[in-house]
Amino acid sequence: MESRWLPWLAPQLPVAVPAVLGRGEPGEGYPWSWSVHRWLDGEHPVAGELTAPGPLAADLAAFVAALRRVDTAAGPPAYRGGPLAGEDTETRNAIAELRDLDEGFDLDAATAVWESALRAPAWDGPPVWVHSDLMPGNLLVRGGRLDAVIDFGTAGVGDPACDLIAAWNLLPADVREKFRTGTGADDATWERGRGWALSMALIQLPYYAVTNPVIAANARHVVREVLADHARQG
């Protein structure tokens, strides 16, 4: 997928993306295709430790907006480009699992936020290009500014809401509106985006609690941010 679409996307985006230098096929006991990408310098941003959150919010918005302008003809379906309701069972299962883990979250409030997102009007526009996994680990910054976006394995066309997750998994509350304005997200899309951020975090936390402390820590951050956001809105 990346070898097909990255050369098409790269010149239309405001920051660097991986360039595929070579492609390998399954073999020697390894069951998947694989590729070698050109090295991209930079470091992963960490929520709560951003040196230039305002400019970074603008950079992320510019990337999302540019991706949305790319011609969607023949684009593949994005991994998270469909209706949010498709995540309902897995999200509720994760909430039930977290009750046993006792992470200290108000899971009744989390359920209320999730159900509010499910009630948001569905996307009724044409499908657009989305990355659909804008986690901090897929972003590279230099000097606090966005320099590259990596891992396009889930990219494709669909509902733009899934690319709003950076508002809660990385950006502080005081620059969230700047990001939203730059992406042009309407109320319903913003609500679905918050639902995507929460769903991903709730599912990731029990799954990665032991095996990947970095992702688990970010998942806890997302849940706290989404619940605080919900509380501010009353």
Query: 214 vs 52, 152, 220, CA distance in Å?
Result: 21, 20, 10
pLDDT in tens, 52-64: 999 999 999 999 9
The domains located in the chain, with CATH, are: 53-232 (3.90.1200.10)
Separation CA 156–CA 79 (nearest Å): 7
State the distance between the two ends of the chain, measured CA to CA, in whole angstroms.
43
Separation CA 167–CA 87 (nearest Å): 20
pLDDT in tens, 95-138: 999 998 888 899 999 999 999 999 999 999 999 999 999 999 99
pTM of the model: 0.95
pLDDT in tens, 144-200: 999 999 999 999 999 999 999 999 999 999 999 999 999 999 999 999 999 999 999
CA atoms lying within 13 Å on the CB side of residue 212: 13
